[in-house]
Amino acid sequence: MPSTTSIARPSRRTDVSRPSSRRSQTTRISGKLECAAQAQVLAQKRRIPLATKYNVNSNVAASPAKISLPRTLPRPVLGEVDLSSLVNAYPNFTGIPADYIRERLPSSTHNMRAALQAVEISVCKSSLPKELEILMNDVVAAACPTHILAVYNDAPLGFGQKRHVSLFPVHDLVLRVHCAGLPTLPLSQPSTSSSHATIPVVPLRLPSPETFPLLHAYLYTRQPATLLASLAHPCVSDLVQLATHASKIHGLWRNACTLGVVDPQLYDVIEASWGSTIAAMQACS
């Protein structure tokens, strides 16, 4: 509801002998209204309501809408991965600190990344299977994925709609050593001696499945500059496009928090990208 200002109605009797009292009262009222207006302006500056002529949920021009975004994305408290789950899958890492493994892993993930690109997955069933077979070749056999993540979100579905699931081949070592909040993965040691390998399928609910490839790729390379370049906002003055880009950064941040990613550099990149995008939105609002 719009705010209103109540001013007491003066009595019908007019006192002409004290004109300074009336001027003083008028001055006090004007001063109060001016202070209230300034307080309202300062309160608006503390928020980031960004006005646009377009509804962000539609490409059609509509009545002015407001996009309210936080100035910063809070950095989660970084814990540490459960070494027991890592050692159970990889006994050779017994007694080795997880941060030591994280620092040296990117130098040995070239074959892993090549194998991920070479894997072909096809599902011909309406329900999600517990296992899938992948075709084995020399590239895949060099660093065969251990699991297939079935990534989805829990957004409400309309009548007759089906849940969309995206499948991603992964190496559990990379995920286990980086993600303190990773759900339990079944042990998997796919055989590479035949033409096919059977890989367990693991359902994984994430806030933003569409941005999981960004996070997944970063965990293999740990190259902040590459991730920062992929999160650079478009050089436009279109608030809707910038808001769409902001949702991409926000989705990446939510996924990282959900999985408990233990990597300060990742959150440095997210904070820098978010701040740059918010500044660009403020400049064109």
Instruction: Give backbone dihedrals phi and psi of 261, rounded to 5 degrees, phi first.
Output: -65, 125
Provide the pLDDT for residue 79.
Answer: 86
In-domain check, residue 48: no
What is the CB-side half-sphere exposure of residue 153 using CA atoms within 13 A? 13
Q: Is residue 112 part of a domain?
A: yes
pLDDT value, residue 280: 93
Q: Which two tokens stand for residue 158?
A: 């309309």
Please count the residues of the chain. 285
Among the residue ranges 44-53, 124-133, 190-199, 236-245, the one predicted with the least confidence is 44-53
Residue 4 within any structural domain of the chain: no
Asked if residue 61 is part of any domain, the answer here is: no
DSSP assigned state of 232: P
Write the pLDDT tens digit of every residue in 110-161.
999 999 999 988 776 677 889 999 999 999 999 999 999 999 998 888 887 8
Taking the C-alpha atoms of residue 127 and residue 118, their distance in angstroms, rounded to an integer, is 25
pLDDT one-digit tens code per residue, 35-52: 444 444 333 333 444 444
Q: Does residue 186 lie in a domain region?
A: yes
User: Which three-class secondary structure state does DSSP give residue 203?
Assistant: strand
Query: Hey, what amino acid is at 30?
Result: S
| pTM, full prediction | 0.75
Check: CB of residue 152 under 8 Å from CB of residue 167: no
Residue 269 to residue 221: CA distance in whole angstroms? 14
Residue 64 scores a pLDDT above 60: no
Total of domains in the chain? 1
Measured distance CA(208)–CA(253) in Å, rounded: 9
How far apart, in whole angstroms, are the C-alpha atoms of residue 198 and residue 189? Answer: 9
Q: Residue 260: name the closest of 76, 17, 25 by CA.
A: 76
Q: Which of 163, 120, 164, 116 lies closest to 144 in space, CA to CA?
A: 116
Q: What are the two backbone dihedrals, phi and then psi, of residue 125, each rounded to the nearest 5 degrees?
A: -115, 150
Q: Is residue 3 part of a domain?
A: no
pLDDT in tens, 92-109: 999 999 999 999 999 999
The SS3 assignment for 65 reads strand
Is residue 64 within a helix (H) or strand (E), and if so which, with residue range?
A: strand 61-68
Report yes or no on 49 lying in a domain.
no
3-state SS track over 135-190: ECCHHHHHCCCCEEEEEECCCCCCCCCCCCCEEEEECHHHHHHHECCCCCCCCCCC
Q: Out of 54-63, 188-197, 255-264, which region has the weakest mean confidence (pLDDT)? A: 54-63
Domain that holds residue 149: 83-283
H runs (alpha helix) in the chain: 19-46, 83-89, 98-104, 110-118, 138-142, 172-178, 212-221, 224-230, 239-259, 264-283
* Predicted pLDDT of residue 204: 96
Could you tell me if residue 7 is inside a domain?
no
| pLDDT category of residue 213 using cuts at 50, 70 and 90 | very high
Work out the number of other CB atoms within 10 angstroms of the CB of residue 167: 15
